[in-house]
Copies of this chain bind each other. A is one copy, B any other.
Amino acid sequence: MSYPVFAVTVDLVVLTVRDGELNVLLVQRGLEPHLNQWALPGGFVHADEDLTSAARRELGEETGLDGPGGHLEQLGSYGDPDRDPRGRVVTVAYLAFLPDLPAPTAGTDAAAAAWKPIGAHGLAFDHDRILADGIERARSKLEYTPLAAAFCPPEFTIAALRQVYEAVWGEKIDPRNFHRKATTTPGFVESTGRSTEGEPGRPARLYRRGDAALLNPPILRRKLDG
């Protein structure tokens, strides 16, 4: 049997919330093609490696952090014949949500790594499109899953959770109604009993992520007729 030969890469759309704004992890390429251009972090899948393992390995290499509190899922695959000048390369894109902790460290084949606000970047390859798909997926995931907590540290306030929604959706949410929804939707958050200290205003109770896989009822964005 004969069939065409491909290379397979994983690329990562790593999102976090910094200063109330949605940020994406980008690297400046240290190799051809697209030398010095910004791109999504990623790399080739190794010979004996699962796709998800490859994504997790790249995430660890780029962020130095693989611990709990985050989230990693497959986003989709991109395989236009001319998407990579080196030849036939199919990339499997993954989407990650991380709390705003680590300052990124440049990997071996990257000149630099940095958090950048989402927006128009002229990224290498077809990474602009992959990034756009990842952001749209993230916006929709926040409606139906408790994954907003993956953007937060292990213990967080309801206000911090609300700020995740505001950053990802780009819209303001009423803090009082959101508080009621978050605390009454089963499995969304669990109280830890502890509270914040030393900050202005009434102390806020600290929560951890609940065990629900899906939010019921969901937290819906304002209508945008399709």
A binding-site residues for B, Cβ under 8 Å:
1, 3-8, 44-51, 74, 76-81, 86, 88, 90, 92, 186-187, 212-216, 223-226
Contact = CB atoms under 8 A, between A and B. Distances in A.
Stoichiometry, as copies per complex, reads: 2
A223 to B, nearest CB: 5
Contact of A5 (B5, B48, B76, B78): B5
6 contacts: A6-B7, A49-B81, A50-B80, A90-B92, A216-B223, A216-B226
Contact of A88 (B44, B47, B79, B88): B47
A162 to B, nearest CB: 21
B79 A92 contact: yes
A3 B3 CA distance: 18
Contacts of A186: 225
A48 B81 contact: yes
